Structure 1
Amino acid sequence: MSRELTRCQRIEQSILKTYRKELWRPFTHAIRRYQLIRPGDKIAVCISGGKDSMLMAKLMQLLQRFSDFPFEVRFLVMDPGYNEVNRRKIESNAALLEIPVTIFETDIFQVANSTEKSPCYLCARMRRGHLYSKARELGCNKIALGHHFNDVIETTVLGMFFGSQLQAMPPKLHSTNFSGMELIRPMYCIHEDSVIAWRRYNDLEFIQCACRFTESCAASGGGSKRQEVKELLRRLKQDNPDIEKSIFNSIHAVSLDTMIGYKTHGELHSFLEGYDEKPPVEESEGEE
């Protein structure tokens, strides 16, 4: 007679079986394709309490369980000033998913919301700094964030439309302020729709954006540029179902020979640099 599975075991089974194609395979594909984890790594898996970071934590836990090479994980929750309801929800979800979290407090919300200029930018920078510091304190050499496929697409479009630059979100990068530390994005190839489907299938409830500044903007009728881009992509997808895939593939195949300018290591370069010494470039379709 087979024993009845616990709820956590059923949730794990949904990742490995029910949503294997949508979650587990793209997750392990990103790990391999972008070489995100190496033997001996000690990774701080950063949990904000939302659906993405909670799923990432479970994926990383399962990967460590089944991996054919050793690496360590620490599940890190930074409390930037959550209200009591959100704090309890994070703790209860971690217990439900059997994720042993380490929680530490900061005053990020208080500091960021007291400034009138770019509170979101300040909050993001402070969050990243606190996470790197705590991860290093715990002996980690990497932090893992829960950005997914749609975050990558939206960031690319946001940069073009509102930042006047072609800028993507890389699957990993070295920290400029914390020597020897690296940031990785293990959910790089997972679609947000799949995360939502998994959450609904398991009847899970995670916190939404807990930022007080964002809540006040929503209450006053304001909206974010990222939300505008989400809506735009949703409309475009009705005519071209593969548009997100095309954008994703395009950041893997940038043709620098056709770019008027590009920036690397903070330095801007022009196509005019050594223009007369460069070999001819084949004309693209549409040129006259």
Structure 2
Amino acid sequence: MRLLVLGDVVGRAGRTAVATHLPRLVERWSVDFVAINGENAAGGFGITEEIAQGLLDAGADVITTGNHVWDQREALVFIARQPRLLRPINFPPGTPGRGATMVTARNGARVFVANVMGRVFMEALDDPVRLVEAALEQHAIGSEVDAAILDVHAEATSEKQVFGHLFDGRVSLVCGTHTHCPTADHRVLPGGTAFITDLGMCGAYDSVIGMEKEEPMRRMVERVPGQRMGPATGPATLCGVAVETDDATGLARWIAPLRVGGDLEGAVPPGWQERS
């Protein structure tokens, strides 16, 4: 099974990159399932219903989020009627939306996706490990589901790596989001789970984590508040990973980086030729 998982979409530049490249990649490589983090898609802050639908129309099967999920207040309402948009599973009970879902992939397989937020240098949410454990008890790969993806939206690299080791052998992929910088540690862990500390972003890299660089540079030098930061508008890179899983076990055969367009050096999965 072929999984494509993309990092945080930042602003219009990131959305344009997704709309431009994702449909072609899905068709060319016969990708079975696409997950994408959309929490910065609306001007760098949150996501709207229209933007969420645009990402789904471009080929995303599930949209994950993180600490910016409520920056656009309408998300508090429309998330209840959009089962393919997730918010972190460890938000308090009664929070609108859901933190995990199961979706049927293009090839008919059952794919479980969970979205969790870290607690190091972030909000003091509920215990993420306990809640992921509970979700996976009902969605074991190889029996209840054919593949499982865990998006760990966290600041600390160590926390994301702990999640990888904790759930090695129980999910197809553990991927980090939030820091917007792609890491080079993609690998299959000993138990068969693909892992990367951070997927990077779908956005303009001539920026400061996707935002126009002038304002954050000024703030660092002058140390006083100023204008609201806005997303960079230059050429954007579509950034994430491709994972191929074993149909019998749901575990990863291999993982490879994906970088298309924009300023970063390109990278495409070496084994993914067009399917006949």
TM-score by length of 2: 0.32
More helix, by proportion: 1
Question: Greater CA radius of gyration, 1 or 2?
Answer: 1
